[in-house]
Amino acid sequence: MVSVNFLLAFYLLVMVQAQPATLTFADYLAHDDGTDTRYELVRGQLIAMTPPTWQHLLIARYLERLFEVQIQQLGTRWLALQGAGQQVNDDTSRLPDVIVVPIASIQDDYQNTAVLSDAAILAVEIVSPSSTADDYLHKLAEYEAKGIAEYWIVDPLALGASRYIGTPKHPTISIYRLAEGEYLAPLQFREGDVVESAIFPELRVTAQEIFGQ
């Protein structure tokens, strides 16, 4: 007869083996599974990113170019980038759709993986069906704790819950500004509203112009 202790030990062994390995940030930077799949590191676990829609890509492209024009007008040594990552803590690293970064933060890391360790100046997340909770809840808390000065949530399909974008729901851009280590209540822009950015005070663009890409 198999003992209870043996069965218990066997069960615990199986449970331990079934747990996915927890990765460090260094593991994440070195990860290569031989595919083109892009991953975020979320509390030590690799999370595969869903391929974006054309609308998603075009909005990101439009914002990247829009920010580059503003950077040139301000004369600051910043860059607007798609595709770069943002480490937010020891076991989590995100892939914002667009970030604005100081050149000084990356100039010594040109040969390294494009993941920013310092806080970006501005981060944009474009909401998709698979990212709604992350964009409005988890990333909001992470970017706040990291110290990202301005966080844009661009929601062209009005996927956010009513508590985030109101009722009736409309496509909305929510902009969170950091003050004394915390994000203030968001400024929200819809349809013909002119978007207001503390980072780019001369920006003149409506929500609809961004959504219409």
The predicted-structure confidence for 137-146, as pLDDT tens digits, reads as follows 999 999 999 9
Whether residue 13 sits in one domain with residue 104: no
Note the pLDDT of residue 19. Answer: 52
Domain edge (last residue) among 12, 27, 45: 45
Burial class (CB within 10 angstroms; exposed 0-12, middle 13-18, buried 19+) of 163: exposed
Query: How many domains are contained in the chain?
Result: 2
Whether residue 155 sits in one domain with residue 191: yes
pLDDT in tens, 122-135: 999 999 999 999 99
Q: Average pLDDT for residues 8-30, to the nearest whole number?
A: 64
pLDDT in tens, 44-68: 999 999 999 999 999 999 999 999 9
pLDDT in tens, 163-185: 999 999 999 999 999 999 999 99
Q: Average pLDDT for residues 69-93, to the nearest whole number?
A: 97
Whether residue 86 sits in one domain with residue 8: no
Whether residue 55 sits in one domain with residue 41: no
Distances in whole angstroms, Cα of residue 148 to Cα of each of 71, 194, 212: 17, 22, 27
| DSSP-assigned letters across all residues of 148-210 | -SEEEEEETT--S-HHHH-SS---EEEEEEEETTEEPSPEEE-TTPBP--SSSTT---BHHHH
Query: What range does the domain containing 19 cover?
Result: 4-45
| Mean residue pLDDT across the chain | 91
Whether residue 170 sits in one domain with residue 127: yes
Whether residue 138 sits in one domain with residue 80: yes
Whether residue 167 sits in one domain with residue 99: yes
Note the pLDDT of residue 20. Answer: 66
Whether residue 54 sits in one domain with residue 41: no
Distances in whole angstroms, Cα of residue 163 to Cα of each of 134, 136, 158, 160, 186: 15, 10, 12, 8, 12
Whether residue 206 sits in one domain with residue 108: yes
Query: 97 vs 33, which has greater pLDDT?
Result: 97
List the one residue out of 105, 134, 103 whose CA is nearest residue 117: 105
Whether residue 109 sits in one domain with residue 31: no
Whether residue 26 sits in one domain with residue 13: yes
Q: What CATH code is carried by the domain that includes residue 83?
A: 3.90.1570.10
Whether residue 67 sits in one domain with residue 24: no
pLDDT in tens, 87-105: 999 999 999 999 999 999 9
Note the pLDDT of residue 18. Answer: 44
Note the pLDDT of residue 57. Answer: 97
